[in-house]
Amino acid sequence: MPVITNISEEPFYFILTGIPGLEAMHIWISIPFCCLYMISILGNTTILAVIQTESLLHQPMYLFLSMLALTDLGLTLTTLPTVMQLLWFNVQEISFEACFAQFFFLHGFSFMESSVLLAMAYDRFVAICRPLHYASILTETVIGRIGIAIVIRCVLAVLPSLFLLKRLPFCHSHLLSHSYCLHQDMIRLVCADTRINSWYGFVLVLLIIVLDPLLILVSYGLILHSVLGTASHAERIKALNNCLSHILAVLILYVPMVGLSMVHRFARHAPPLVHVVMANVYLLSPPVMNPIIYSVKTKQIRQGIHRLLFQGKVH
């Protein structure tokens, strides 16, 4: 009986793809990508520095914001090496182990982003609907436990899909359609039964990609019910304005996520450029836009950035 040797036991690599049809222009395309990565890194590190240095920002809302910034920073640094070395130096090969490591961190941070936004929705619910109990409910201990729970949840969500995929033989083309290792991209190269992987992926979609935004919608439904039922017009505007940054962050994550999933499931024969653009929008939009949104919409963050940048001049 013939034995299929697991490809992971041999010297093995995947081949990454840049921008299809525009390979000759990679060096020019690298300029906007480099700018976006720099904006993400500088923006999120600035948010973290402001929250760290400003004692008045050591409150639940800003502690959750620091979790979001850390997650965005992790997501950025996960894809940056393979994307930029491909665009700058045309390095397309990535080893089996490195690809799975990137797979783990990429999907882990992506799920973590969703989980942190859910925690932030709960924070807004407590702040608006239970203001008198806000400080007693969301203590530093509780926030720390929420953070640990988010990390454990995301690790436990990604590890099974990683091991389920790693045990399968890859005997089709080694060519991936992106400049990083996505699960949806890697699994199409498998030449074995992937039903277990598909079912686990379906369960994961229900538990995170469907459940998280559903719970966020429920929290905002309760917020609207509370605000419309008791507050004056001015208080309603103020309460909804306090939630605006979070609502924009939710839309920036879930709209591209749903779009990418739809493209992978229902537009498999679409031009490769469509898949690449959708994936890059999905992975780059939250880390780039979140620090901009919170810097523009949150007065305390703006003031903190101003003090951080000009405190040297003041002294």
Q: Which residues, in sequence order, are bridge partners of residue 14?
A: 94
Q: How far apart are CA 165 and CA 194, in angstroms?
A: 8
- Kindly give the residue spans of alpha helices, DSSP state H, lying in the chain: 26-53, 60-89, 96-129, 134-137, 140-166, 183-186, 195-204, 211-230, 233-266, 272-297, 299-314
Task: Give 144-161 pLDDT, tens digit per residue.
Answer: 999 999 999 999 999 999
- Residue for token digits 């990679």? 26
Neighbours of 12 (CB within 10 A): 14
**Burial category of 313 from C-beta neighbours within 10 Å (exposed 0-12, middle 13-18, buried 19 and up):** exposed
Neighbours of 309 (CB within 10 A): 11
Q: How far apart are CA 199 and CA 190, in angstroms?
A: 16
Q: How far apart are CA 101 and CA 98, in angstroms?
A: 5
Tell me, what's the pLDDT at 230? Answer: 74
Q: How far apart are CA 85 and CA 93, in angstroms?
A: 10
Q: What is the mean pLDDT of residues 132-138?
A: 93
* 8 A C-beta contact, residue 187 and residue 197: yes
Query: Could you tell me the pTM of the whole model?
Result: 0.92
Among 48-52, 134-138, 270-274, 305-309, the least confident range: 270-274
Which of 8-22, 215-229, 257-271 has maximum average pLDDT? 215-229
Tell me, what's the pLDDT at 235? Answer: 78
* 8 A C-beta contact, residue 94 and residue 16: yes
* 8 A C-beta contact, residue 283 and residue 79: yes
* 8 A C-beta contact, residue 179 and residue 17: yes
Domains and CATH numbers, the chain: 13-302 (1.20.1070.10)
CA 241 to chain centre: 24
Tell me, what's the pLDDT at 261? Answer: 78
Instruction: Give kind and range of the element (H or E) at residue 3.
Output: none
Per-residue pLDDT band at 172 (split at 50, 70, 90): low
* 8 A C-beta contact, residue 7 and residue 171: yes
Task: Give 98-132 pLDDT, tens digit per residue.
Answer: 999 999 999 999 999 999 999 999 999 999 999 99
Which among 94, 231, 235 is positioned nearest to 175, based on CA atoms?
Answer: 94
In the chain, what percentage of residues exceed pLDDT 90? Answer: 66
- Residue for token digits 């800003």? 62
Q: How far apart are CA 137 and CA 123, in angstroms?
A: 10
**Burial category of 42 from C-beta neighbours within 10 Å (exposed 0-12, middle 13-18, buried 19 and up):** exposed
Between 243 and 313, residue with greater pLDDT = 243
Tell me, what's the pLDDT at 238? Answer: 80
Tell me, what's the pLDDT at 120? Answer: 97
Helix (H, G, I), strand (E, B) or coil at 7: helix
Tell me, what's the pLDDT at 232? Answer: 76
Between 177 and 219, residue with greater pLDDT = 219
* SS3 per-residue string spanning 184-213: HHHHHHECCCCHHHHHHHHHHHHHHHHHHH
Which of 8-22, 67-81, 272-286 has maximum average pLDDT? 67-81
Q: How far apart are CA 81 and CA 4, in angstroms?
A: 33
Write down how long the chain is.
315
Q: Which residues, in sequence order, are bridge partners of residue 190?
A: 170
Residue type, 158: V
Task: Give 210-259 pLDDT, tens digit per residue.
Answer: 999 999 999 999 999 888 877 677 777 887 888 999 999 999 999 998 88
Task: Give 284-294 pLDDT, tens digit per residue.
Answer: 999 999 999 99
